[in-house]
Each structure stands twice: as structure tokens, then as C-alpha cells.
């Protein structure tokens, strides 16, 4: 008599995969939005406002195209097949590698290279600029030296936070279960505070010199040469860094652009003042430079702080995620979606409605597949997919549910107030006033 062996969960999933063809969970794309794309030539012919609108529309179409490329690959089917247990021998096998894993490693290597090169450049430029300041008494050159010192400090801070964010081992995964990606924008915030505080001091020094009788600034050839070298080198760094998507590298790009503007003004004001014997131009240049840096880095501080505080993501990100989710054929509707920042990247929370007749194992595997695909999109740190069977169910979090209850209470009270007003007995003298009150409430 043959012995009956209990089937494993993976065996059950192997059987159910034939009932739910993995190739049918993603609808075929028609690329139906490409007709709305504007070519670079067409954009040039448009007025500025229309050009901005269509440029943003092109960015949205690019986001949709990236979703289509991901869904047209074998990745969604690989995820579902792995969940069903077809491609794996047991539960110990890792699920699979994300499609952009190699690109992420290459991106991290590029970021580290940029940080190392920028650190070396700042050390060399600081030495040349320090020698120039020793030969001159220009407050504009002194402001430029302060900015170079802070450049070096910023490089050290950003380099350290980036290394900490990229370091992950057994000892840290329990302390930081979702990683340390927020270290990098935190480093930018710390540096922004240093930058603003230091240039407030330069601003006060420049204003103090303006109050007294300023003396003409001495601008030696070594100072002119060092400033010119700084402008050229920093312009090259800015061109290389501006397209790299990392808050640390973007801070370096912004700092390099500031250096270009800063050093041109630092050189121009004392040079013109020395040439035309206008000694007050040098401290005026220091005031302008200080205000420029303070305003620029205040904007950077506010931007990074708001991202770390959970600022809502860009509408393009929201549309991209919504488009991705609705491409899955089992999804009947999306009842709730939120995309918000936690640093550079975005957290996604989405409630999807599936058919009520779907079994729990199949619904689970569909939800997991949607979640892994969302987390494979560029710029998405984590995705949380909540499965529902009724689009009218309350939101999935206590705060949203409480807000929904409060809104319903306000609507109910407004309706009661309206009904009471309408039902009040009226007399000829007060009828007009009562009707006007009803109209105001409505």
C-alpha cells in the first residue's frame, strides 16, 4: 500500500500557479500616451509657460515609459513564479535580485568617486587660496577663504555620512532595520547650519568695515591666479556632479556652482575697487557674497528638512506609482495611495481592491508581486501594499480613519443645521431672513 505524504506549502503553490497564469497579471501596454510627447524642436518653438508645461508632461511620459519597461520585462513573472515556488527548491532560497541592483552598485561607486575627488580638490584649493589671502587684506578674498574652509568641512561631513549610509552588516541591521539612507540628507542639514552661521559672521565683518572708512584692498597677482584656478576647477566639478541623483553629490554640485559665482564676485569687486580707487566696493562685495550664500543654503536646509519630515512626493512620482499599480489586471481599483519622502527616496502606501472571490494564497502572491515591482521603481525606498475587497472600506491607518470620521461628523452637523433652519416656523417679518440663512448654509 502506497504511503501518503503531506504536501508542502510550496507544492500547493506549484499547483495553483497553473490555475493563475503568471503572464496574465500585467496588462499589455499600448504606449498610448506617446502621442502627447513634444520633441526638443517643438519645445523650442513654444512660449515659456507652455514650454514648462510640456516639459513636465514629457517627464511624466518618461516615468510611464520606465514603468512599461519594467513590467514588460520578465521581472513580475519571476517574482510571482518564485512566490509560487516554481523556481526555488525551498524557503531558504533568496527571492531574487532586483532588476536595478547592478545599476545601484554602479551608482554607489560613482558617488564615492565623486566624493573622494572633491575632497582632494578642496584640500588643494584651500592651500592656494590661503596663500593668496596672506598676501592681501581684501575682505572679499577672506570671505572666499572662509567658503573654501567650509567646502572642506562639507566634503568631510558628506563623505562620512555617505560611508555610514552605505555600510551595512550583521551588527547594524538590527539597529537600523530599514538602512541608513537618511544619514546623507542629515549630513547636508548639519553642513547647511555651519554654512549659514559662518557667513553671518562674514556679513557682520563686511558691514563693520562699511561703517568705518574703508581702505583700498591690495590684490596681488597670486590672489588673481588662485581665484581663476578655483573658478575653472569648480565649474568642471559642477558639470560632472549636477546630473548625479544623490543628496550628497547634489550638495557638492550646488556648492561648486556657488564657488564659481562666489569667486568671480570675490575677484571682481576688489579688482574694480583697486583699479578705480573705490575702496568701499570690497566690503560691498563681501555683503553681497554673504547674502547670496545665506539665501542659497537656507533653501537647501529647508528642502532637506522638509524631505526628512515626510513631505509629499512630486506629482510625477505619485502618477508613476498609480500607473504601475493599475497595470496589474487583478487590481479592480485603488482606494487609497500616499507617496511621501523620508530623505532622498519615497515611501509608498497603497490600498488595492481585488475580487472578493480570490483565495488568500493567490491574493497574497499578487500583493507581494505588486509590492516588489513598486520597490523596483527608481526613487522608491519601500512600498506597502494593503489588499482589500471593498473600495468603500475605511482607510488603513488610524490617523486617516479618524480624519474621515471627523469629516463625516462635520457633514452630518452641517446637514442637521440646514434641516433645522428649513423646518423653523416663519412669519412674514422673518421669512426673508430665514431664507437668506438657508441659502448661506447651503
On the question of pLDDT at 216 being above 60, the answer is: yes
The CA-atom distances, in angstroms, between 217 and each of 87, 185, 226, 269 are: 75, 39, 17, 10
Query: Do residues 267 and 227 lie in contact, with contact meaning Cβ atoms separated by under 8 Å?
Result: yes
Helix axes 360-376, 315-326, angle to 10 degrees: 140
- Could you tell me if 132 and 250 lie in one domain? yes
CATH number of the domain residue 318 falls in: 3.30.70.1350
- Could you tell me if 238 and 160 lie in one domain? yes
Does a structural domain hold residue 404? no
- Could you tell me if 46 and 131 lie in one domain? no
How far, in Å, CA of 165 to CA of 162, rounded?
Answer: 5
- Could you tell me if 132 and 34 lie in one domain? no
Does a structural domain hold residue 305? yes
- Could you tell me if 116 and 256 lie in one domain? yes
Does a structural domain hold residue 432? no
On the question of pLDDT at 38 being above 50, the answer is: yes
Query: Do residues 184 and 159 lie in contact, with contact meaning Cβ atoms separated by under 8 Å?
Result: no
Instruction: Label residue 93 by pLDDT band (50, 70, 90).
Output: very low
Query: Do residues 147 and 262 lie in contact, with contact meaning Cβ atoms separated by under 8 Å?
Result: yes
On the question of pLDDT at 60 being above 80, the answer is: yes
> What is the total count of domains within the chain?
2
- Could you tell me if 209 and 355 lie in one domain? no
Instruction: Label residue 333 by pLDDT band (50, 70, 90).
Output: very high
Of 288 and 144, the structure prediction assigns the larger pLDDT to: 288
On the question of pLDDT at 220 being above 60, the answer is: yes
Q: Which domain holds residue 126?
A: 99-309
Interval 38-59 mean pLDDT: 89
- Could you tell me if 287 and 219 lie in one domain? yes
How far, in Å, CA of 318 to CA of 308, rounded?
Answer: 18
Query: Do residues 194 and 111 lie in contact, with contact meaning Cβ atoms separated by under 8 Å?
Result: no
- Could you tell me if 280 and 324 lie in one domain? no
Indicate the range of 140-154, 273-287, 397-411 predicted with least confidence.
Answer: 397-411
On the question of pLDDT at 441 being above 70, the answer is: no
Looking at residue 290, what is its pLDDT?
A: 86
- Could you tell me if 128 and 275 lie in one domain? yes
Does a structural domain hold residue 77? no
Indicate the average pLDDT of the chain: 76
Query: Do residues 401 and 386 lie in contact, with contact meaning Cβ atoms separated by under 8 Å?
Result: no
Residue ending a domain, choose from 282, 309, 336: 309
On the question of pLDDT at 101 being above 60, the answer is: no
Looking at residue 29, what is its pLDDT?
A: 72
- Could you tell me if 158 and 220 lie in one domain? yes
Does a structural domain hold residue 399? no
What is the distance between the terminal CA atoms of the chain, rounded to a whole angstrom? 80
Residue ending a domain, choose from 309, 325, 352: 309
The CA-atom distances, in angstroms, between 170 and each of 96, 179, 277 are: 20, 12, 66
| φ, ψ at 392 (rounded to 5°) | -95, 5
How far, in Å, CA of 339 to CA of 349, rounded?
Answer: 7
- Could you tell me if 147 and 284 lie in one domain? yes
Does a structural domain hold residue 425? no
Residue in 155, 138, 135 with CA at minimum distance from that of residue 234: 155
How far, in Å, CA of 332 to CA of 355, rounded?
Answer: 7
Indicate the range of 110-119, 127-136, 403-412 predicted with least confidence.
Answer: 403-412
On the question of pLDDT at 99 being above 80, the answer is: no
How far, in Å, CA of 322 to CA of 262, rounded?
Answer: 43
Does a structural domain hold residue 79? no
Of 119 and 169, the structure prediction assigns the larger pLDDT to: 119
Cell matching residue 433: 431672513
CATH number of the domain residue 217 falls in: 1.20.1510.10
Residue ending a domain, choose from 354, 376, 393: 393
Rg of the chain over CA atoms, in angstroms?
A: 31
Does a structural domain hold residue 149? yes
- Could you tell me if 285 and 226 lie in one domain? yes
Amino acid at each position: 500500500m502506497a504511503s501518503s505524504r503531506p504536501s508542502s506549502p510550496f507544492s500547493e503553490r506549484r499547483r495553483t500557479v497553473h490555475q493563475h497564469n503568471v503572464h496574465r497579471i500585467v496588462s499589455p501596454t499600448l504606449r498610448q500616451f506617446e502621442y502627447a510627447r513634444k520633441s526638443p524642436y517643438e519645445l523650442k518653438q513654444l512660449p515659456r509657460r507652455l514650454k514648462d508645461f510640456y516639459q513636465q508632461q514629457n517627464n511624466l511620459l518618461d516615468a510611464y515609459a520606465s514603468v512599461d519597461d519594467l513590467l514588460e520585462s520578465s521581472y513580475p513573472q519571476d517574482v510571482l513564479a518564485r512566490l509560487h515556488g516554481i523556481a526555488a527548491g525551498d524557503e531558504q532560497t533568496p527571492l531574487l535580485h532586483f532588476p536595478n541592483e547592478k545599476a545601484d552598485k554602479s551608482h554607489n561607486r560613482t558617488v564615492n568617486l565623486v566624493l573622494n575627488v572633491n575632497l582632494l580638490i578642496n584640500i588643494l584649493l584651500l592651500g592656494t587660496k590661503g596663500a593668496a589671502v596672506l598676501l592681501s587684506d581684501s575682505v572679499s578674498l577672506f570671505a572666499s577663504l572662509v567658503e573654501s574652509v567650509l567646502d572642506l568641512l562639507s566634503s568631510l561631513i558628506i563623505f562620512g555620512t555617505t560611508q555610514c549610509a552605505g555600510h551595512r552588516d550583521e551588527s547594524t541591521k538590527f539597529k537600523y532595520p530599514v538602512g541608513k539612507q537618511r544619514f546623507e540628507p542629515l549630513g547636508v542639514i548639519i553642513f547647511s547650519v555651519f554654512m549659514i552661521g559662518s557667513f553671518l559672521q562674514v556679513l557682520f565683518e563686511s558691514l563693520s568695515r562699511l561703517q568705518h572708512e574703508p581702505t583700498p584692498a591690495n590684490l596681488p597677482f597670486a590672489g588673481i591666479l588662485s581665484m581663476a584656478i578655483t573658478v575653472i576647477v569648480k565649474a568642471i566639478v559642477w558639470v560632472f556632479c549636477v546630473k548625479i541623483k544623490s543628496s550628497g553629490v547634489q550638495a557638492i554640485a550646488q556648492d561648486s556652482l556657488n564657488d564659481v559665482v562666489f569667486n568671480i564676485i570675490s575677484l571682481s569687486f576688489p579688482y574694480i575697487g583697486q583699479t578705480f580707487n573705490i575702496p568701499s566696493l570690497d566690503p560691498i562685495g563681501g555683503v553681497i557674497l554673504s547674502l547670496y550664500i545665506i539665501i542659497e543654503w537656507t533653501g537647501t536646509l529647508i528642502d532637506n528638512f522638509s524631505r526628512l519630515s515626510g513631505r509629499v512626493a512630486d506629482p510625477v512620482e505619485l502618477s508613476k506609482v498609480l500607473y504601475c499599480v493599475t497595470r496589474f489586471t487583478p487590481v479592480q481599483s485603488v482606494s487609497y495611495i500616499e507617496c511621501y519622502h523620508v530623505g532622498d527616496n519615497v515611501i509608498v502606501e497603497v490600498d488595492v481592491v481585488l475580487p472578493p472571490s480570490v483565495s488568500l494564497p493567490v491574493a497574497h502572491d499578487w500583493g507581494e508581486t505588486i509590492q516588489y515591482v513598486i520597490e523596483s521603481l527608481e526613487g522608491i525606498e519601500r512600498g506597502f501594499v494593503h489588499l482589500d475587497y471593498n473600495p468603500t472600506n475605511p482607510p488603513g491607518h488610524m490617523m486617516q480613519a479618524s480624519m474621515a470620521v471627523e469629516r463625516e461628523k462635520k457633514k452630518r452637523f452641517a446637514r442637521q443645521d440646514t434641516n433645522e433652519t428649513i423646518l423653523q416656523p416663519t412669519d412674514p417679518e422673518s421669512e426673508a431672513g430665514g431664507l437668506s440663512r438657508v441659502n448661506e448654509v447651503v
